[in-house]
Structure 1
Amino acid sequence: MQNQTKKRILVAPLNWGLGHATRCIPLIHALLENEFEPVIASDGIALKLLEKEFPQLKAIELPSYNIVYPKKAQFFKLKLLKNSPKLIQTIKAESKHTKSIIIDYGIDGIISDNRLGVFSKSIPSVFMTHQLKVLSGNTTWLSSKMHQKIIKQFDECWIPDNCGEENLSGDLGHVNMIDIPIKYIGPLSRLKKTNIKNKYDLMVLLSGPEPQRTLLQNSLLKKLKNYKGDVLFVKGIIDDESKVFVNGHMTIYNFMTSKTLEKAMNESKAVLSRSGYTTIMDLAKLEKKAFFIPTPGQYEQKYLAKRLTELGLVASCNQKDFTIEMLETIDNYKGLKSTDDFTNYKKLFSLFQSK
């Protein structure tokens, strides 16, 4: 890699559903606009999605964390503990791989979205997360302490949220933390709001790790047969190409790229989805009403859904309790709103000019 004129920034999102990858899309666009050369690194569906969004950029496969949820929520923490030795091995392999990538591709800086082994002491390294506090039930203190210890290996921590009271992440992204500069960079979304006539009464937008994504998909496809209204159903399965299938009042996609998704969400009166943080940022940007079904066993999603419901913004319920009749409560809530804070990317990216 000789005759390099632009600084190369490695952008590495965690492959845990699609959220980490999709919220990196506006960052990658901002890097391009500010005369940097992004290099993408991930695995699985996260890497596939970013390759489709940025076919002109170099994409590198990283070792996979292979995060799989148990079918029963009560076994989630046990499964994570059981897999922790394998996870530690993957992080070590990821760290070794990162060292090679830095040399082979002339990397000048790193933005790691929750990939624990993607950092370097020799070049500016950023850790991006909305979780300074990692909820894990009665072990929250330990999981948070461990996470913060990892973050402290980086030069900066970027929180995709606002620092004031009008924020989206609540206690997750707002704790007192020392030894590392924390920057609130504002909510990140690849989508833009447009004033367009509603085409669908309800949009179902799925993502997240298996088998819970498939379990919710199959349950909703069955229950929504009795829904009175037009439904757009996006499964969140990344294939070689986007496919559409119409079944009565339901239009079903395997996945959508950013532009198609942006139009579809703007055309939808309400959205039914997981309460993943990236989805929340997208819905706030589009100022949409929603219904959340948090992933069973995922404390973070349960917290976010409960918080937004208690604030009177979004309806929600547990997966096992969901009925079609509950969708009638959506209009009882205000919906999510955009703060439209401007991110000064030139100032933010100045870190990569510092070494």
Structure 2
Amino acid sequence: MHNRPKKRILVAPLNWGLGHATRCIPLIQALVANSFEPVIASDGVALKLLQKEFPNLETVNLPSYNISYPKNGQFFKLKMLQNSPKLIKAITAEKKATETIVKDYSIDGILSDNRLGVHDKHIPCVFMTHQLKVLSGNTTWLSTKMHQKIITRFDECWVPDTIGDDNLSGELGHSDSVGITLKYIGPLSRFKKSERQLKYDLLVLLSGPEPQRTLLEKLLLKELEMYHGNVLFIKGVVDGESKASINKHITIYNFMTSDALENAINESKIILSRSGYTTVMDLAKLEKKAFFIPTPGQFEQEYIAKRLTKLGFVPSCDQKEFKIEMLNSVDDFRGLHLTEYTTNYKKLFRLFQGE
């Protein structure tokens, strides 16, 4: 029995900021721990990050979606519509690439994190998303319907959240009528909470698509000139070395690998970041106080930020309104935390075992 070759699972996160890639880290670790052999497929910074995290695993390049982001968040939906022929083309290229990868790498199962074309009807395929409802303003019904139609081609849909009222994704991850086997697998985070001495008054954690990432970086560096306190500033640019540069009270890194970032968050009093869902899961796991600035025009992040502010967990504001003194309101909020939840990976991965 022990000589049976390990089943090879293609893990393919979307390259949109770093969130999809980082939340796949605990799943890749769990696959390895349960005697599977993950093969990682993505593109751009998402792939670079996972290559740094898992230098011993095989990785393969997928065609890029190349979605550019408008400078003005109001035009996000228009830009997405303009991008849709490009997106359809990318998904078609992705399907072709997946076919080749499945053959060349002898793939036994697929775990796609929001990559719509990474699917093969001959092997078990899982789609992972926290967006069963895709918010797009007055076209939400249409974007949701289109997304759910794609999801139904997969064998299972995994939602990284809990099913109860204390969930993190709200109506995004709790929509009815999907017509597919849904599994709530609990929030995913690569981090562990540890009691450490506080080193930083503020940790700025940037990520997400350009040009919005750069626009926020410039805005924050300007505002932070007036801030009294120790700041760690992580740009979220996965490039070259992660060297630190120090500018008065601000220590700046391009990026940090998981261990260093886990320590940094545990050693920081307040986190200032986007309200991407992966960031929310990470900060809840580490029980942090935070302030959120959603990516302009990204309905999902705006919804998450507003919901968590309304529930009294985390203050937030629009990018154009942010002023450094707003951080004083953090003390009036509870901060993020998780209800205890343990994912039974052995049971979850049964689909790949053919059981």
Q: Same fold (TM over 0.5)?
A: yes
Q: What CA distance in whole angstroms lies between the structure 2 residues aligned with 1:177 and 1:183? A: 14
Q: What CA distance in whole angstroms lies between the structure 2 residues aligned with 1:22 and 1:5? A: 27
The match for 1:271 is 271
Q: What CA distance in whole angstroms lies between the structure 1 residues aligned with 2:267 and 2:340? A: 21
- What aligned pairs does 1:74-113 form with structure 2 within 5 A after superposition? 74-113=74-113
Could you list the runs of 5+ residues in structure 1 that have no partner in the other structure?
none
Deviates more, 1:74-83 or 1:312-321: 74-83
Q: What CA distance in whole angstroms lies between the structure 2 residues aligned with 1:56 and 1:339? A: 34
State the Cα distance separating 1:178 from its structure 2 match.
Answer: 4.0
Q: What CA distance in whole angstroms lies between the structure 2 residues aligned with 1:237 and 1:65? A: 19
SS in structure 1 at match of 2:52:
helix
SS in structure 1 at match of 2:268:
coil
Q: What CA distance in whole angstroms lies between the structure 2 residues aligned with 1:210 and 1:177? A: 34
Q: What CA distance in whole angstroms lies between the structure 2 residues aligned with 1:96 and 1:349? A: 26
The match for 2:296 is 296
Q: What CA distance in whole angstroms lies between the structure 2 residues aligned with 1:243 and 1:64? A: 28
The match for 1:136 is 136
The match for 1:286 is 286
The match for 1:177 is 177
SS in structure 2 at match of 1:167:
coil
- Are 2:160 and 2:185, in contact at CA under 8 Å, matched by a contact in 1? yes
Q: What CA distance in whole angstroms lies between the structure 2 residues aligned with 1:277 and 1:158? A: 15
- What aligned pairs does 1:248-263 form with structure 2 within 5 A after superposition? 248-263=248-263
Could you list the runs of 5+ residues in structure 2 that have no partner in the other structure?
none
Q: What value does the CA root-mean-square deviation take over the aligned residues?
A: 0.9
Q: What CA distance in whole angstroms lies between the structure 2 residues aligned with 1:166 and 1:9? A: 32
SS in structure 1 at match of 2:132:
coil
Q: What CA distance in whole angstroms lies between the structure 1 residues aligned with 2:66 and 2:149? A: 23
The match for 2:211 is 211
State the Cα distance separating 1:240 from its structure 2 match.
Answer: 2.5
- Are 2:312 and 2:333, in contact at CA under 8 Å, matched by a contact in 1? yes
- What aligned pairs does 1:298-337 form with structure 2 within 5 A after superposition? 298-337=298-337
- What aligned pairs does 1:186-197 form with structure 2 within 5 A after superposition? 186-197=186-197
Deviation readout 1:145-164 (Å, 9 max, x if unpaired): 00000000000000000001
Q: What CA distance in whole angstroms lies between the structure 1 residues aligned with 2:86 and 2:235? A: 29
Deviation readout 1:278-327 (Å, 9 max, x if unpaired): 00000000000000000000000000000000000001000000001100
The match for 2:230 is 230
Number of equivalenced pairs: 353
Amino acid at match of 2:22: T
SS in structure 1 at match of 2:98:
helix
Deviation readout 1:19-57 (Å, 9 max, x if unpaired): 000000000000000000000000000000000000000
- Are 2:212 and 2:295, in contact at CA under 8 Å, matched by a contact in 1? yes
State the Cα distance separating 1:113 from its structure 2 match.
Answer: 0.2
Runs of 4+ in 1 over 4 A off after TM superposition: none
Q: What CA distance in whole angstroms lies between the structure 2 residues aligned with 1:222 and 1:56? A: 41
SS in structure 2 at match of 1:252:
strand
Residue 347 in structure 1 maps to residue 347 in structure 2:
yes
Deviation readout 1:244-302 (Å, 9 max, x if unpaired): 10111100000000000000000000100000000000000000000000000000000
The match for 2:17 is 17
Q: What CA distance in whole angstroms lies between the structure 1 residues aligned with 2:178 and 2:245? A: 51
TM (norm. structure 1) is: 0.98
Deviates more, 1:234-243 or 1:148-157: 234-243
